[in-house]
Structure 1
Amino acid sequence: MCMIMRQNFAKNCEQKLNDQINMELNACHQYLAMAYHFDRADVSSPGVHKFFLQASAEEREHAEKIMTYMNKRGGLIRLEGIPEPLPCFKDTMAALKHALKMELEVNQSLLDLHALASSENDPNLCDFIEANFLQEQVDGQKILADLIRQLERATTDVGDYLFDKYIQSAAASGGGALHSEKDIPRR
C-alpha cells in the first residue's frame, strides 16, 4: 500500500537510507555502551557518561527521523541486527577518538547518500539530508576534535578529573552532546 504514494524514489536510495538508519542505530548502541562504561564505579566519569548518553539519544533521533522520512516517501524500512559495541575503553581519550572515527564514518555515509540522491535526480532526498544532517555532522566533528585537543592538554590524573568536570558542565548547560558549539567552554 505504501507504493501508491511513491514518486521519484529510487530503490537504491531506499537501500542506502536503510543502511543509514542501521548505521545511526549502531552509533546509538555504541554511544550507550560508552556512556555506561564511564558510569562504572571503577571509572567514575559522570561528565563523560552524560556526554555519551546524550550522543546516544541524538543518534537514535537521527535514525527515527530517517525512518519517518522513509514512510513519507513510501519506502520500506529494514532494520538489521546491531553489532556488539566495544565494551570498554582504556581511557577517555580512546573513547573520544573512537567517537570521532564513528562520526566521520556516519558523515561519509551521508555524503555518499547525498551524491546518490543527486545522481538519481531526487532533490527531495538531497534537501532532507542537507537540512537535517550535514551541518550537524560537521559541528559534531569539530566538537569532538576540540574535546580531544582539550584532553591532550590535561596529561595527569588531575587533568583527566578536571576534564570530566569540564565536560559535565558543558553537558549540563543544555544542547546536544555532539552538535552544538555552545557546549564547549573555551579557555
Structure 2
Amino acid sequence: MAWCFRNIRRHMGMLVRQNFAKSCEKKLNEQINMELKACHQYLAMAYHFDRSDISSPGLHGFFLKASAEEREHAEKIMTYMNKRGGLIVLSSVPEPLPCFPSSLAALKHALKMELEVNQHLLDLHALAGKESDPNLCDFIEANFLQEQVDGQKILADYISQLERAQNDVGEYLFDKYMGTGMHPANRIP
C-alpha cells in the first residue's frame, strides 16, 4: 500500500516535468555532487588554516565562506531540480585533501577546483542548448556563470599577490589583509 502512494506521489511530481531531458537531469546531478565535493574540500581547508600551528584567520574565513557558497549552489540546483520534476541523486562525497604545505598551494588547489566546476557548468549549458532547454540555460547563466568568473579572478589575484610575498612576513601580511577585504570584490561598500 505504501509503495502505491509513493509511486502516485512520484507520478504527480513528474507532472511538472516539461522539456527536461534525462541527460540534463543526469548532468545537473553531477553538478550538485561537484558543488558538495567543493563545499567539503573548502570546509577542510578552512579548518586546516584555523589550526593553532597554522593560525591564518584570513584564509580560514575565506575558505569557510567559500564552503557555504558551494553548499548554497548545490541547494539552489536541488530546488531547481524539484521545480522541473527531476530526481535528485546524491552520491558519497570523496574525502578531501586534509592539509596543504602552504597558503599558496591551497589557493592554487582552490583555483583548480573552481576551473573544474566552471567547465562542468559550461558543459551543462552546452548540453541544455543542444537539448533545446532555454529554461536551464537561463538558470545557469543567471545563477552561476558570472559568479564563477569573478571567483576565479579573485583566486588568481590572491595567488599572484602571495607569489610576490615570497617569505613568512609576506604571507603573514597577506593573511592579515585578507581578513580585512584587500580585494575590491570582497570590500564592504
Q: TM-score, normalised by structure 2?
A: 0.91
CA distance in 2, matches of 1:134, 1:154: 31
Is it true that 1:72 corresponds to 2:87 in the alignment? no
Displacement of 1:182 after TM fit?
2.1
2:128 to 117, 126, 131: 117
Which residue is equivalent to 2:173?
A: 162
- Could you say what secondary structure the match of 2:181 adopts? helix
Q: Superposition pairs for residues 116-135 of structure 1, below 5 Å?
A: 116-135=127-146
1:53 to 64, 70, 78: 64
Task: Report the AA paired with residue 48 of structure 2.
Answer: H
Which runs of 5 or more structure 2 residues have no equivalent in the other structure?
A: 1-11
Which runs of 5 or more structure 1 residues have no equivalent in the other structure?
A: 172-179
2:32 to 21, 31, 34: 21
Question: If you compute each CA radius of gyration, which structure gives the higher value, 1 or 2?
Answer: 2
Q: 1:42/1:153 Cα in 2 relative to 1: closer, same or farther (>3 Å)?
A: same
Q: Is the 8 A contact 1:143 1:184 kept in 2?
A: no
Q: Is the 8 A contact 1:100 1:141 kept in 2?
A: yes
Which residue is equivalent to 1:10?
A: 21
CA distance in 1, matches of 2:187, 2:117: 22
Task: Report the AA paired with residue 182 of structure 1.
Answer: A
Task: Report the AA paired with residue 137 of structure 1.
Answer: Q
CA distance in 1, matches of 2:80, 2:184: 27
Is it true that 1:147 corresponds to 2:187 in the alignment? no
1:94-137 Cα offsets, whole Å, 9 max, x none, are 00000000000000000000000000000000000000000000
Q: Is the 8 A contact 1:143 1:181 kept in 2?
A: no
Task: Report the AA paired with residue 79 of structure 2.
Answer: T
Q: Superposition pairs for residues 93-112 of structure 1, below 5 Å?
A: 93-112=104-123
CA distance in 1, matches of 2:72, 2:178: 22
1:59-93 Cα offsets, whole Å, 9 max, x none, are 00000000000000000000000000000000100
Displacement of 1:2 after TM fit?
1.1
User: What stretches of structure 1 move > 4 A for 4+ residues in a row?
Assistant: none
2:93 to 73, 82, 87: 82
Displacement of 1:21 after TM fit?
0.2
Q: TM-score, normalised by structure 1?
A: 0.92
CA distance in 1, matches of 2:130, 2:88: 22
CA distance in 2, matches of 1:71, 1:130: 19
Displacement of 1:184 after TM fit?
6.6
